Amino acid sequence: AQSVTQPDIHITVSEGASLELRCNYSYGATPYLFWYVQSPGQGLQLLLKYFSGDTLVQGIKGFEAEFKRSQSSFNLRKPSVHWSDAAEYFCAVFLLVGARQLTFGSGTQLTVLP
Amino acid sequence: GAVVSQHPSRVICKSGTSVKIECRSLDFQATTMFWYRQFPKQSLMLMATSNEGSKATYEQGVEKDKFLINHASLTLSTLTVTSAHPEDSSFYICSARESLALITEAFFGQGTRLTVV
């Protein structure tokens, strides 16, 4: 079955430390990949997306993600986390075939320690 | 990026009443809008896909008579929770995809916190 997996339910890092949030997908073809951030009680904001081309994509707020086809992964990274980055992060995939809808991972809650 | 406005942001209603949630694309035309439901500390679950001028497509397990979706124009979709009960309390989020775009991101509203008492 097609799926998006975020293995880490909750991650805690200290402010200024680096961050990596994991995302794996299982689809026959390369999907279109997204990372969204959600603050409490808010909608989703797009951080970055990958459609094709350079496998390292830059997003807003200093985030980047790398698409690795061999590992079916699209991990989100940030070199130095700020307290304002504390939020829920969702990886999502979109397929051109079939239902053509976004499918979300289960999310990773990020806590930032002062 | 494009803006999707969702209203209201919070609503409290009595059990048995109906609640309407609006989702508007402010600066683009959205042929397709999506309605999601999110339980606390969980991911977004797609409820239905709303296409302008036609009937919505509901996901398996979603009651179409309880969650009425209307997409009457290219900028507005509404979700009406009919005869709401406490178990319908949740966070509802809409998103919209720009028309004529084969591959595009979806833009999300700010969500509506529904509490049924």
Rounded-to-integer distance, Cα B70 and Cα B6, Å: 14
CB atoms within 10 A of CB A97: 9
In the chain, the amino acid numbered B104 is T
Residue A15 has pLDDT above 70, yes or no: yes
Q: What was the pLDDT predicted at A42?
A: 85
Measured in angstroms, the CA of A70 and the nearest CA of chain B are apart by 23
Cβ(A67)–Cβ(A33) below 8 Å: yes
Strand partners, B23: B6, B77
Residues A58/A100/A73/A88 CA torsion (nearest 10 deg): 70
Q: Do A45 and B108 touch (CB under 8 A)?
A: yes
Residue B102 has pLDDT above 70, yes or no: no
Measured in angstroms, the CA of A44 and the nearest CA of chain B are apart by 6
Name chain B contacts of A104, Cβ cutoff 8 Å. Answer: 43-44
Rounded-to-integer distance, Cα A67 and Cα A13, Å: 23
Query: Per residue in A45-100, pLDDT tens?
Result: 999 999 888 899 999 999 999 999 999 999 999 999 999 999 999 999 887 666 66
Query: Per residue in B13-37, pLDDT tens?
Result: 999 999 999 999 998 888 889 999 9
Measured in angstroms, the CA of B13 and the nearest CA of chain A are apart by 18
A26 pLDDT band, cuts 50/70/90, is: confident
**Using the 8-state DSSP alphabet, how is residue B46 labeled?**
E
